[in-house]
Structure 1
Amino acid sequence: MPWFPEFSTAIELARRDARAREQADPVAQYLKALSDDAPGALEKTWPGDVVVYDPRAGEIRGHRELREFIHSNREWMAAHQARLKVVGSITVDGRAAVELLVHVLHDGDEVAWPVAVVAESLDERSVEFRTYCSQWPVDGLRHLRPPVLEAGAVDAPDVVKRHLDALAGGDVESIVKTFQSDGYLQEPMDNVHRGAAELRAFYAGAGGIAVRPCAATDDGVSCALEYNIDGPPQAGLAVFERGTDGLLAAVRLYDDITR
């Protein structure tokens, strides 16, 4: 049966192609597992280490803990009638950052909850998911979150660096100048400050904030920067969206840090 090896090879190639397609969009696979309470496809695509860093549940490591987390999360989503909507994504070199709006019921009202998820493939068998958000929209509390990554592994690029340097020095005018004229800042609770006057008023009350970059997912237009801040160290993520003039069209924050 000389055709049999070729047939087996074709099946194996088809399996590899299917797995490669699934690995190309790990966040979509992760979100589907959360929504469907079905981690099987995720485990099949990533048979090695699967690690989740979640603001509510903490560190989840391995397939058994993953299954327990997904089941618990699905129960929470059902109780809050949660709906997920992807509003932006960046994919570069095995790392993907996806911005979501999660619509949930809180005290009888529907709340739009900004959430960001970073997926990083450490090898062909393993993946890590890191979620960033404020929990204020769903429980009315700020939760001090310890660092997820070590700072110092990456330098912030171009206008992002200028923005962070000005922020660390509490230089309000220099911060505002990093934005284009109609640029905006979105806080973790979905509050938006647009234009120079609103940005100036917001940053005037923020003081100096030292941001320590940990990892960047940057496609040249948008940069998702994972960071720690000092005193006490806390983890967060910001998406910096560049305009056509090289200035910032938007900064969107995902953290529980009091400013």
Structure 2
Amino acid sequence: MHGRIKGEAAFRRYVARASDELRQANYTVSAVDLIVTPTRTVEEVILSTDGPKGRVDLPIAIVTDRGPGGLVEIRMYFSTWPITGEHAIRPPLLQHDPNVHEKGAVGDYQRALAAGDLAATLAAFEPQATVREPAGGEYTHTGTAELTELYTLFFSNGGGIPLEHCTVPDDGRACALEYNVTQWGRAAMPPEAGVAVYVRGASGKLIAARIYDDSNPPLHRPDPSFAGCVL
């Protein structure tokens, strides 16, 4: 919402401005999950603030690159849907890296997603897995029946959702994928940045997926209440 901030002086101004805005909105922060690797951290939180129509719960993912001297870059991902009721295109933050590959069920899921293969997509999840869209709250789907309905809708535009993979921090328990979405089924889309977090269950399959982007997908049977996401 504030664009790209670079340099200490600009960062200090951003922190001061953002902090004032949050205090005025009576904010609270709830922790969701944390992935830590030697060079990168992915933190998930729910930011609750007062909005024009009442209290708003906003899922946010914060990806931090670390170096020997400290923090190198912080990338924040969230949907504007809970705030404004509309989507906002976020240009790519990272370049596609063809050397990025996901392990196990995460990789199986990404291949199925790109192919638009419903059966293979569902097979990557445990039976009671949960998928949460970027808007959070009511846009959370649990169990095979709900995921079948969700992915049938996602694949309704004549194909899968191939993503440009950028980074994949993985601590063994959970994996995050920073990506760019450029295509949804038959439709080309404006390149947009996002991140998804995948948590493995006891079986090795996915027990949870949480998505942070602001895509407005070209669905064959669009639902006006659908908040949109890329998974």
Q: TM-score, normalised by structure 1?
A: 0.76
Q: Secondary structure at the match of 1:58?
A: coil
Q: Please, which of 104, 112, 117 is the counterpart of residue 49 of structure 2?
A: 104
Look up the equivalent residue of 2:194 and give its one-letter code. G
Equivalence for 2:67: 122
The structure whose Rg is larger is 1
Q: Secondary structure at the match of 2:73?
A: strand
Equivalence for 2:193: 235
Please give the root-mean-square deviation of Cα atoms over the aligned residues, in Å. 1.3
Is the Cα–Cα contact under 8 Å of residues 228 and 236 in structure 1 kept in the other structure? yes
Match status 1:164 vs 2:110: yes
Q: Please, which of 204, 207, 210 is the counterpart of residue 249 of structure 1?
A: 207
Equivalence for 2:122: 176
What is the Cα deviation at residue 122 of structure 1?
Answer: 3.3
Map 1:201-240; keep pairs closer than 5 Å. Answer: 201-207=149-155, 208-230=160-182, 231-240=189-198
Q: What CA distance in whole angstroms lies between the structure 1 residues aligned with 2:123 and 2:71?
A: 41
Equivalence for 2:148: 200
Map 1:33-72; keep pairs closer than 5 Å. Answer: 56-72=1-17
Is the Cα–Cα contact under 8 Å of residues 64 and 71 in structure 2 kept in the other structure? no
What is the Cα deviation at residue 94 of structure 1?
Answer: 2.0
Match status 1:84 vs 2:66: no
Unmatched 5+ residue regions in structure 1?
Answer: 1-55
What is the Cα deviation at residue 254 of structure 1?
Answer: 0.6
Is the Cα–Cα contact under 8 Å of residues 97 and 116 in structure 1 kept in the other structure? yes
Is the Cα–Cα contact under 8 Å of residues 184 and 250 in structure 1 kept in the other structure? yes
Q: Secondary structure at the match of 1:134?
A: coil
How many residues are paired up?
A: 204
Look up the equivalent residue of 2:205 and give its one-letter code. L
Residues 192-213 of structure 1, C-alpha deviation per residue, up to 9 Å, x if partnerless?
1111110010111112211121
Look up the equivalent residue of 1:185 and give its one-letter code. V
Is the Cα–Cα contact under 8 Å of residues 122 and 128 in structure 1 kept in the other structure? no
Q: What CA distance in whole angstroms lies between the structure 2 residues aligned with 1:233 and 1:67?
A: 30
Look up the equivalent residue of 2:153 and give its one-letter code. G
More helix, by proportion: 1
Equivalence for 2:228: none
What is the Cα deviation at residue 249 of structure 1?
Answer: 0.1
What is the Cα deviation at residue 125 of structure 1?
Answer: 4.8
Q: TM-score, normalised by structure 2?
A: 0.85
Q: Which runs of 4+ in 1 moved over 4 A?
A: none
Match status 1:188 vs 2:150: no
Identity of aligned residues (%): 33
Q: Secondary structure at the match of 1:232?
A: strand
Shift of the 70–197 alpha-carbon distance from structure 1 to 2, 3 Å rule, reads same
